[in-house]
Every structure is written in C-alpha cells, then in structure tokens.
Amino acid sequence: MKLWQKNKTPVTENVDRFTVGDDRLWDVRLAPYDVVASKVHAQMLASVGLLTAEEATQLSEALDNILTLVSSDDFVIEDDFEDIHSKIEFLLTEQLGDVGKKIHTARSRNDQVLTAMQLFLKDELTEIKALTKELFGTWMTLAEKYKNDLLPGYTHLQVAMPSSFGLWFSAYAEALIDDVILLNAAHTICDQNPLGSAAGYGSSFPIDRNHTTAALAFNTLKFNAVAAQMGRGKSERITASALGSLAATLGRFSMDVCLYMSQNFNFIHFPEHLTTGSSIMPHKKNPDIFELIRGKCALIQGLANDFALLGQNLPSGYHREMQLFKGNMIAGIDSIKDCLTILNSTIKEVHIRKNIMEDGIYTYAFTVDALNELVQQGVPFRDAYKQVGQQVEEGTFVPPKKVEHTHVGSLGNLALDKIQEKFDRHF
C-alpha cells in the first residue's frame, strides 16, 4: 500500500516501475536523514499539542531503533514500498499501531524529501570540503618540496617562459580556494529548513517551524512555504555548480599530469603500481587514473546544466520530474569524492625529473629574462625585444645563467604562507 493510495487498487507493474524508478536505491542513502527529521517532527508535534508526550516518546524510541536498522549496510527498501517514507511509516505502524499512523500529521512527502536531501547535502558538502583540504595540503607540501625545480611554462602549447614545480602545484592549491568559496555558498543555500512547508502551501495545523529548525541544526528557515518547495532542484543545481567548479580544477590538473607523463614531455612519472599497461605494447605506462578523473570531472561539470534543463519552465509547486534530481545528485557527489580521494593519494607518489630546463629545447624559454636584463641596463623595452628577437633568428641567443623572479606569486616568491592564510579564512 502506498502512502497516497485511498483503496487497495494497485497501479500496474509497468507504471510502478516507471514512476518509482531507482528511488528505492537512492532513498537508502537518505534514510538516516529522513528518520532523524521524523523524530524531530514528532517531538515538535507534541510541543504544539498534536501528539501527547507519551506518543512522542513512543515514536522517538521506535525511530531510534529504525535509525539503527537503516544505517546498517544490508538495509534495503523492498518493492512493496514506494520509497523510504513509506517504509518508515510502515515500520512505525507495525510497532506502534495507530500511534505510528500519526507521524505524517502536518507534513507531506514533498517537505520530507526536501528536508532529508538538504540535511544530506549539508553533510556531504562538509565532507567534500574536508577532502579538498587534504588535497590542498598535499599540493602545498609538494610546492614547498619542489619550489626550486624549474619547469617550462607554455602558452598555446608552445614553450613560453620558465615556471617551476612549486609554481605549478601551488597554482592548483590556490585554485581550490575559489572552489571552497563556492562549496560554502552551496552549504549556505542548503542550510535553510523546508520542513513544515508540506506539499508546498503550508498547513492548517499550528506547527512550530522554529522548533524543527533549531532541532535539526539548520541556520535559518525557508520561511515561505512556496519558496521552500521551489527549492526542490535549486539546492541541487547550486550544489552541482559548486561541484562543477571543483571538478574543473581536478580535471585540468589531471590533463596536465597526462601531458607531463608522456614521453614527449617526460616531466614526471609514477610508480608502476599506480599505472596500467597495454595488452600488446609492453613498454606502456598509462595514466589511467588521471584520464578517468578527467572524464569523471567532465561529467560532473555537466550536472548543473542537466539540472538547469530539468527545472526550466516549471511553474511553482511540485512536479514529478523533480524526483530525477535525486539520483544524479547523489551519484555526482560520490564521483567527486572518489576523484578527490584517488587524486590525493596518487599525487603524493609523484616523481619529478630534475634539471629539465637544461635541455636545449627549452633555451628560448629564457628570452624574456634576457630581454628584461637589457631593460634593467637601460635599453628601451621595444629595442631590447628586437635585439633578443634578432639573436633568436640568427641562432646566437645565449640564455641567462640565472633566473631571478622575486615578485609575490612568481617562481622565486611563491607566497605559500599567504595562500595558506587565504585558504584558512575561507575553510
């Protein structure tokens, strides 16, 4: 029996399969949050006189037992139930009879899903930030370790100017700060309590929404019931945008790694246990990990667009396709967490090639430094530019013996302490 059924006439099997989709699978992930919210809801109902204190206690104790059940690895939602909400209400009714049937007073599955999802997103965003912090720390450590090891910089994939491994690693570390700012913004959006908005138009019961806001540790209410319902999909889209920004950083770094590992560049390599081979080419050491991160992160960046298209042109109120946000959101979160974890563990074992810039192919990477030396000797910049350009054309260019970049943020002054301070301010 489904929560919305008024009699025993079931929907046909194909309708049930199509409308429920994978909700039972995804709802297993949301189950603990729905149980916690249900317990708070029951306590609130007692506080306003819609349940007796004894009934609230019975429901709370039963929900504590259900929380243990749904938190176990072998918990499933059987096909007899449409979703986790149906399962929880069934378990309560099975244990408590009529008291269990009272749990749905003054709420709808709409605000149940909203509340469970936003509690879930808050926790997941916090965990993603923690994983991001770990990667930030790894990149900063590598930047300090290899700050004096030069690396050619490229523009248009042409050799451009001297860079360094320290500059490379710390560039991506600082880029993570932008991503953390967006993760914080997504967390703020999700930190608004929708419980009590019911089906999107509130309730005639005198419920206390401030009670549930405090008890569920939301920062504030989503005050307007319609606005709360309109948040379905919006919280997911904003979260997906933040994940997309982070994914772009990870994907771009992974592309660098794939290039730098190739024989044409040969700047870095990894132990064999972190690479794969070819079934017919015995010399191959493939960067499969980084290629998969690059691919997964591309898909994660597409989530926000998927959600924007899914929610476009929907009028206010609930619509069934909002159900489709759930699975893709959870899958996207799992994917970005996997990428963060494997990237952090793998990059710790990177080996860099020393003295790369001594290779003659990178001689012209030093033309700007030679030009700047002439300018410091009093030669006008444009004349110095022409002088060095002529040397290059004639094959007489000799690179400077020493490269000195001292301004903040350059390869000689990475400002790692300032980058760390900035990260700490936003984390």
Judge whether 378 lies within some domain: no
Q: Choose one of 90, 105, 120: the last residue of a domain.
A: 105
Q: CA nearest 42: which of 27, 12, 62, 66?
A: 62
367 in any annotated domain: no
The verdict on residue 390 lying in a domain is no
Q: Mark whether 125 and 258 lie in a shared domain.
A: yes
In a shared domain, residues 123 and 222: yes
Among 83, 105, 127, where does a domain finish?
105
Query: Is there a single domain that holds both residue 166 and residue 185?
Result: yes
Contacts of 83 (CB under 8 A, 6+ apart): 20, 23, 24, 27, 77, 109
Write down the pLDDT at residue 50. 98
Torsion, Cα of 407, 353, 142, 338 (10° steps)? 130
Domain boundary among 326, 357, 388: 357
Same domain, 126 and 54: no
Q: In the prediction, which pLDDT does 80 show?
A: 82
- Same domain for 285 and 239: yes
Question: The tokens 């709409």 sit on which residue?
Answer: 110
Express each pLDDT in 136-180 by its tens digit. 999 999 999 999 999 999 999 999 999 999 999 999 999 999 999
Do 217 and 316 sit in the same domain of this protein?
Answer: yes
Q: Are residues 21 and 65 in the same domain?
A: yes
Does residue 306 lie within any of the structural domains? yes
Q: Which CATH number belongs to the domain containing residue 31 in this structure?
A: 1.10.275.10
Exposure of 255 in the CB half-sphere (CA atoms within 13 A): 13
pLDDT at 381 over 90: yes
Model confidence pLDDT, tens digit, residues 221-236: 999 999 999 999 999 9
Instruction: Give per-residue pLDDT as tens, 278-306.
Output: 778 888 888 999 999 999 999 999 999 99
Q: What is the pLDDT of residues 84-122, one digit of tens each?
A: 999 999 999 999 999 999 999 999 999 999 999 999 999
- With a pLDDT cut of 70, the percent of the chain lying above it is 96
Q: What is the mean pLDDT of the chain?
A: 94
Residue 97 to residue 65: CA distance in whole angstroms:
16
Same domain, 323 and 200: yes
Are residues 248 and 346 located together in one domain of the fold? yes
CATH code of 337's domain: 1.20.200.10
Same domain, 202 and 297: yes
Query: Is the pLDDT assigned to residue 70 strictly greater than 90?
Result: yes
**413 within domain boundaries:** no
In-domain check, residue 127: yes
The whole-model pTM stands at: 0.93
Query: Is the domain of 214 the same as that of 129?
Result: yes
Residue 205 falls inside a structural domain: yes
Tell whether 154 and 87 lie within a shared domain. no
Residue 47 has pLDDT above 50, yes or no: yes
When divided into structural domains, the chain yields a total of 2
Contact 170, 227 (CB under 8 A): no
What integer is the mean pLDDT of 243-271? 96
Q: Find the mean pLDDT for residues 69-96.
A: 92
Q: What is the pLDDT of residue 4?
A: 42
Average pLDDT for 329-341: 97
Print the domain residue range for 203: 110-357
Separation CA 246–CA 242 (nearest Å): 7
Q: Tell whether 5 is covered by a domain.
A: no
